[in-house]
């Protein structure tokens, strides 16, 4: 749910009123409003979507971006279509343009839970793309990451993205591909990311060592506890990694 600058949820249908009333907010406030639903969103991502023509914030005489409530809701729509339907920005832009013209649009429905879309001809008959639990084919992964076949092949050559044994790519691979593509816009190449992948593999190994005895236990409740413990440890590991990076950058920048 989007948060207003004062912490409350925006009222349905209030977007136009807020925008017309001149209640504009900074890009930092927009980030705060979006973070609850989209914890991975960054200021760079918002700027990229602006550069791609998905949103057009106003500018102050000093050049600072100012966003209306309509702008924030538009960004949230874009992020949902990317996250839930794996739509490329070109398709999202066409849908938003159609809405701006007052036309009816058909939002693709996600595939059924666990359904593989390989061999379904792209997004399938209904135009739906897979949810997080589904596997996707190469074309869907490329579209989700807004990349091309050559880039995907390079990511695979460095072991950053791997196809599953049963075929297709899981939700984790899609998330990794999107992040690799985002980092690539800053000039970071796959060869630069091998160290991150190696560090992640080591962290996963540590987590597995902790939960392995629990997963081998005969008691089903203990095995279930192992899965919960693994998720908690993974989350803590990610937070620690983020803290280490921020601390290192803080030391180097000051």
Q: Give tens-digit pLDDT for 192-213.
A: 999 999 988 898 888 888 888 8
Domain that holds residue 240: 195-254
The reported pLDDT for the residue numbered 232 is 87
224 is a domain residue: yes
**pLDDT tens for each residue of 222-248:** 878 888 888 888 888 888 888 888 888
CATH number at residue 51: 1.10.1660.10
Out of 5-14, 149-158, 164-173, least confident range: 5-14
Instruction: Answer yes or no: do 173 and 156 share one domain.
Output: yes
246 is a domain residue: yes
Instruction: Answer yes or no: do 84 and 55 share one domain.
Output: yes
Give the residue from 188, 214, 233 where a domain finishes.
188
Share of the chain above pLDDT 90, in %: 21
Q: How confident is the model at residue 2 (pLDDT cuts 50, 70, 90)?
A: low
Domain count, the chain: 3
Three-state DSSP state, 211: helix
**105: exposed, middle or buried (Cβ count in 10 Å: 0-12, 13-18, 19+):** exposed
Instruction: Answer yes or no: do 200 and 145 share one domain.
Output: no
Mean pLDDT for 54-75 is: 91
Instruction: Answer yes or no: do 90 and 29 share one domain.
Output: yes
Note the pTM of the prediction, 2 decimals: 0.50
Write out the two tokens for 82. 């990317």
The reported pLDDT for the residue numbered 70 is 92
Instruction: Answer yes or no: do 25 and 65 share one domain.
Output: yes
Mean pLDDT for 153-159 is: 93
81 is a domain residue: yes
Out of 106-110, 164-168, 188-192, least confident range: 106-110
124 is a domain residue: no
Write out the two tokens for 166. 């049963």
Instruction: Answer yes or no: do 87 and 138 share one domain.
Output: no
Given the structure tokens 């609850």, which residue do they identify?
36
Instruction: Answer yes or no: do 22 and 39 share one domain.
Output: yes
Half-sphere exposure of 76 (CA within 13 A, CB side): 20
Of these ranges, 118-122, 123-127, 154-158, the one predicted with the greatest mean pLDDT is 154-158
117 is a domain residue: no
Find out whether 59 and 66 touch, Cβ atoms under 8 Å: yes
**191: exposed, middle or buried (Cβ count in 10 Å: 0-12, 13-18, 19+):** exposed
Instruction: Answer yes or no: do 94 and 142 share one domain.
Output: no
63 is a domain residue: yes
114 is a domain residue: no
Give the residue from 81, 100, 119 where a domain finishes.
100
116 is a domain residue: no
Find out whether 191 and 159 touch, Cβ atoms under 8 Å: no
| Backbone φ and ψ of 191, nearest 5° | -65, -25
The reported pLDDT for the residue numbered 22 is 59
């Amino acid at each position: 749910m989007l948060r207003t600058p004062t912490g409350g949820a925006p009222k349905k249908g209030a977007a136009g009123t807020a925008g017309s009333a001149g209640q504009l907010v900074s890009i930092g406030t927009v980030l705060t409003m979006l973070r609850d639903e989209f914890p991975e969103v960054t200021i760079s991502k918002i700027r990229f979507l602006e550069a791609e023509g998905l949103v057009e914030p106003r500018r102050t005489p000093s050049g600072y971006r100012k966003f209306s409530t309509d702008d924030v809701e538009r960004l949230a729509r874009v992020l949902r279509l990317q996250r839930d339907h794996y739509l490329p920005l070109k398709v999202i832009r066409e849908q938003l343009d159609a809405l701006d013209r007052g036309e009816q649009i058909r939002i693709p429905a996600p595939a059924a839970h666990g359904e593989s879309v390989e061999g379904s001809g792209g997004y399938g008959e209904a135009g739906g793309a897979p949810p997080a639990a589904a596997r996707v084919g190469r074309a869907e992964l490329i579209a989700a990451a807004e990349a091309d076949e050559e880039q995907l092949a390079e990511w695979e050559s460095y072991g950053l993205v791997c196809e599953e044994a049963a075929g297709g790519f899981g939700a984790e691979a899609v998330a990794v591909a999107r992040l690799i593509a985002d980092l690539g816009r800053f000039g970071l190449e796959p060869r630069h990311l091998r160290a991150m992948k190696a560090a992640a593999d080591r962290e996963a190994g540590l987590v597995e060592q902790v939960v392995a005895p629990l997963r081998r236990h005969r008691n089903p409740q203990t095995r279930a506890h192992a899965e919960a413990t693994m998720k908690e440890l993974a989350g803590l590991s990610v937070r620690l990694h983020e803290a280490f990076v921020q601390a290192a950058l803080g030391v180097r920048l000051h």
